[in-house]
């Protein structure tokens, strides 16, 4: 994707017009069928974000991947996927973990730069994982959510040689310049890092 290009090609305009005419609810399924092998984490379900909501890249050759950033959605799982699929929203994360069962959706390929940290340097060098829930509702942080998220983070750390510690597995609140507080005081970091190292 060339976001800096002077003007979109006619092909892109036509493609955009066609996509705009497709009933919104049909898009994820249609795209998922088109890219069945797209996920980087084998058990994840491909639920692609709008291409307007991330920067195409070729990581780790364009940018090293050296940290994982942990988020909480402040939305339901379904609403989060819909936001990422809405080209007006200008936001995405690589993964979303569902509270009830730990099911994982991948929305942006790890090679691409998702827009989740609000900081370009951190976006370019990280993988962003959203967790369904709210910072003030600890019941959303289920055993399944911790367990499956930890498996995912462990796989990312293994893939890029990222140390499995708090210096490299960060909360969104720790990103310089952010005003976000997630994952918040109810997120059990000690438990999470232990699970990542056991996974």
Q: Which residues bind Zn ion (CB under 5 A)?
A: 71, 172, 180, 182
Beta carbon nearer to Zn ion, 110 or 182: 182
Catalytic residue among 45, 75, 110, 130: 130
Q: Nearest-CA neighbor of 109 among 165, 158, 53, 157? A: 53
| Neighbour-count burial of 21, counting CB atoms closer than 10 A to its CB (0-12 exposed, 13-18 middle, 19+ buried) | exposed
130 is catalytic: yes
- Rounded least distance, CB 6 to Zn ion, Å: 33
Beta carbon nearer to Zn ion, 27 or 76: 76
Question: CA 55 to CA 108: how far, in whole Å?
Answer: 9
Question: CA 9 to CA 4: how far, in whole Å?
Answer: 13
- Rounded least distance, CB 87 to Zn ion, Å: 20
- CB of 193 within 8 A of CB of 164? yes
The token pair at 91 is 């936001």
Question: CA 199 to CA 197: how far, in whole Å?
Answer: 6
Place of tokens 């084998």: 42
Question: CA 9 to CA 30: how far, in whole Å?
Answer: 23
- Rounded least distance, CB 14 to Zn ion, Å: 35
Question: CA 120 to CA 142: how far, in whole Å?
Answer: 31
Beta carbon nearer to Zn ion, 40 or 182: 182
Beta carbon nearer to Zn ion, 71 or 151: 71
- Rounded least distance, CB 102 to Zn ion, Å: 19
**Catalytic residue set:** 130
């Amino acid at each position: 994707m060339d976001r800096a290009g002077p003007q979109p090609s006619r092909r892109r305009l036509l493609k955009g017009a066609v996509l705009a005419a497709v009933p919104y609810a049909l898009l994820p399924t249609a795209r998922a069928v088109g890219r069945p092998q797209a996920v980087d984490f084998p058990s994840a379900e491909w639920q692609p974000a709008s291409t307007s909501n991330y920067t195409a890249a070729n990581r780790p050759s364009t940018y090293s991947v050296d940290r994982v950033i942990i988020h909480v959605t402040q939305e339901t799982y379904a609403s989060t996927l819909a936001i990422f699929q809405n080209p007006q929203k200008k936001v995405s994360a690589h993964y979303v973990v569902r509270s009830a069962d730990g099911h994982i959706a991948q929305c942006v390929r790890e090679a691409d730069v998702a827009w989740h940290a609000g900081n370009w340097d951190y976006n370019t060098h990280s993988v962003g994982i959203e967790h369904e829930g709210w910072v003030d509702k600890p019941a959303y942080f289920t055993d399944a959510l911790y367990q499956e998220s930890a498996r995912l983070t462990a796989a990312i750390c293994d893939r890029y040689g990222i140390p499995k510690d708090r210096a490299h597995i960060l909360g969104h609140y720790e990103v310089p310049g952010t005003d976000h507080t997630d994952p918040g005081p109810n997120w059990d970091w000690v438990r999470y890092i232990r699970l990542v190292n056991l996974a």
